[in-house]
Amino acid sequence: MASSFHSLGIRASSPRIEPSFTAIVEVATEEDIQQAINYANRCDIAFLAVAGGHGWQSTINNANGGIQIDMRKMQQIELNSNGTVVLIGGGVLQRHLTQTLYRLGKQAVTGLCECTSIIGPLMDGGHSVLQGFYGFVADNLVSARVVLASGEAVTASATEHPELFWALRGAGHNFGILASFEVKAYDLPKTNWTIVSVIYTQDRLEDFVDALNDVDSEGDHAPELVLAGAITRIPAFDTVYPVVAYQLSYLGTADEVEPYVARFRQASPISVTTAENVAYKDYYIATSNGYNQTACQKDKNISGYAISLRKYNKVAIRKTFGYFSNLTADARFNTSVWLLESYGSRGVWAQNYSATAVAPAERNLPVLTVPITWWAGNSTEARQKAETYGKLMRGALAAGDHETSNSSHVYLNYAIGDESLEQVYGVENLPKLQALKRRYDPANKFGFYMPLI
């Protein structure tokens, strides 16, 4: 066995989710994973794979007392000979893949933050700055080596275990541990990125929302354009209220993005700054999603109450802003961020919806929004306050959406754990997913991330 075994390990998946593991097994091969699962099954102990350690669902806490299967030694990245497919280890993080492929003149569809794994986002869809071109991360999966609950290892692809392959792309956490997997690789484009950052004070909130809705066009915009940002506290711009800090990223020149920026200028930002000629390998740090930047922090508690929308409702945004402002006026919560993400939908809509288990609503609703609350310490009162405000904010956003999409859909990877299965998996896919779950994992060994049964 190439793995190393730490009895009484105390390293949790992340300080934010703290199942207290009895042991941590650092696996290095597929056989190691099999042995770890076989051992856990023999002893009837729960087990949980950990790759990036950024999962925030409360259901992960049910792995308490179990064995952590630490994937972080599974770091292989191998491009095939014609450069179209890359084999990736089950513990590879976004930064490692992006930097490695860049040196080879390639890129792949991944999540944004450098610190999450490739596989974590992929298994529930995976939102990406490249999704406007190539669909979700999951749409790019070619095959996977999966260690099942029984300890058996199989290949899942369009031709081998095709139903498992379908389920991995939308509900993968429920079906096995992916030792390695293959995704499509693409040539790096000849152009670099332009990143325009705009800041608004709260008195411009409604004007900003109008501009955002106009430019986003319910997801139907050029794939070169990526819209993402947050409402957060930046005392340099406003010492009393949170501000809107938004970014338009464009695969192209400043002149090419200017027509979109012009619409945002009409909403009277307090600041506009532009970074030009940003190489793809530097994109994530330039947009503050780098491995050592705040978005990747793991030293605080986190709670996020997400909802997916067709577009933003001004009344709902103002009401939610009031809650967010009140919450973050409490210094314990003042680094929190309310994410407003619209990565573009054309590449997502172009996929065959029934080819994967990604919820149709995930494809149809172009706006992802989640007020993320961060705070330090173990106070029960602080956790309750974060949760109370989280629910209020999601409720306000959902109520506002009744006029547009009547959505209650929540992106599975942004779910907190109190959502219904229909909300995250979609009514269309749930029966088939549950039938497959009963076939592949009847004892619900993979039951710590929105368990299907």
Ligand X SMILES: Cc1cc2nc3c(=O)[nH]c(=O)nc-3n(C[C@H](O)[C@H](O)[C@H](O)COP(=O)(O)OP(=O)(O)OC[C@H]3O[C@@H](n4cnc5c(N)ncnc54)[C@H](O)[C@@H]3O)c2cc1C
278 binds ligand X (CB under 6 A): no
CB of 191 to ligand X, least distance (A): 22
Which of 25, 97, 112, 257 touches ligand X (CB under 6 A)? 112
Which of 161, 173, 319, 332 touches ligand X (CB under 6 A)? 173
396 binds ligand X (CB under 6 A): no
Paired strand residues for 197: 247, 273
Question: Residue 34 and residue 41: Cα distance in Å, rounded?
Answer: 10
183 binds ligand X (CB under 6 A): no
CB of 383 to ligand X, least distance (A): 17
313 binds ligand X (CB under 6 A): no
Residues 402 and 42 sit within 8 Å (Cβ to Cβ): no
Q: Is 378 exposed, middle or buried (0-12, 13-18, 19+ CB in 10 A)?
A: exposed
Per CB under 6 A, the segment of 115-123, 229-237, 251-259, 356-364 that binds ligand X is 115-123
CA distances from 210 to 110, 214, 257 (A): 29, 6, 18
363 binds ligand X (CB under 6 A): no
296 binds ligand X (CB under 6 A): yes
113 binds ligand X (CB under 6 A): yes
CB of 268 to ligand X, least distance (A): 30
In terms of CB distance, is 113 or 316 closer to ligand X?
Answer: 113
Residues 365 and 405 sit within 8 Å (Cβ to Cβ): yes
CB of 340 to ligand X, least distance (A): 14
413 binds ligand X (CB under 6 A): yes
Residues 12 and 21 sit within 8 Å (Cβ to Cβ): yes
In terms of CB distance, is 117 or 342 closer to ligand X?
Answer: 117
CB of 90 to ligand X, least distance (A): 3
340: its two tokens: 């407003």
Which of 49, 101, 167, 209 touches ligand X (CB under 6 A)? 49
Which of 12, 25, 26, 53 touches ligand X (CB under 6 A)? 53
CB of 403 to ligand X, least distance (A): 27
Task: Residue 63: name the closest of 119, 118, 120, 23 by CA.
Answer: 23
Per CB under 6 A, the segment of 171-179, 240-248, 280-288, 373-381 that binds ligand X is 171-179
111 binds ligand X (CB under 6 A): yes
308 binds ligand X (CB under 6 A): no
Which of 55, 344, 371, 390 touches ligand X (CB under 6 A)? 55
Cβ atoms within 10 Å of 394's Cβ, excluding its own: 24
Task: Residue 253: name the closest of 275, 230, 280, 231 by CA.
Answer: 275
In terms of CB distance, is 111 or 219 closer to ligand X?
Answer: 111
Residues 290 and 280 sit within 8 Å (Cβ to Cβ): no
Residues 328 and 334 sit within 8 Å (Cβ to Cβ): yes
Which of 88, 171, 178, 424 touches ligand X (CB under 6 A)? 178
**For the residues of 195-238, what is the DSSP string, one character each?**
EEEEEE-GGGHHHHHHHHHHHHGGG-S-TTEEEEEEEE--TTT-
90 binds ligand X (CB under 6 A): yes
Which of 27, 51, 88, 228 touches ligand X (CB under 6 A)? 51
Which of 215, 226, 295, 398 touches ligand X (CB under 6 A)? 295
Rg of the chain over all Cα atoms, to the nearest angstrom: 21
449 binds ligand X (CB under 6 A): yes
Give Cβ neighbours of residue 437 (< 8 Å, ≥ 6 apart).
Answer: 167, 171, 174, 175, 444, 452, 453
Question: Residue 51 and residue 116: Cα distance in Å, rounded?
Answer: 8
CB of 206 to ligand X, least distance (A): 28
71 binds ligand X (CB under 6 A): yes
What are the φ and ψ backbone dihedral angles of 388, each rounded to 5 degrees?
-60, -50
52 binds ligand X (CB under 6 A): yes
69: its two tokens: 């299967």
Residues near ligand X (CB under 6 A) are 13, 48-56, 71, 90, 111-113, 115-117, 119-121, 126-127, 173, 177-178, 295-296, 413, 448-449
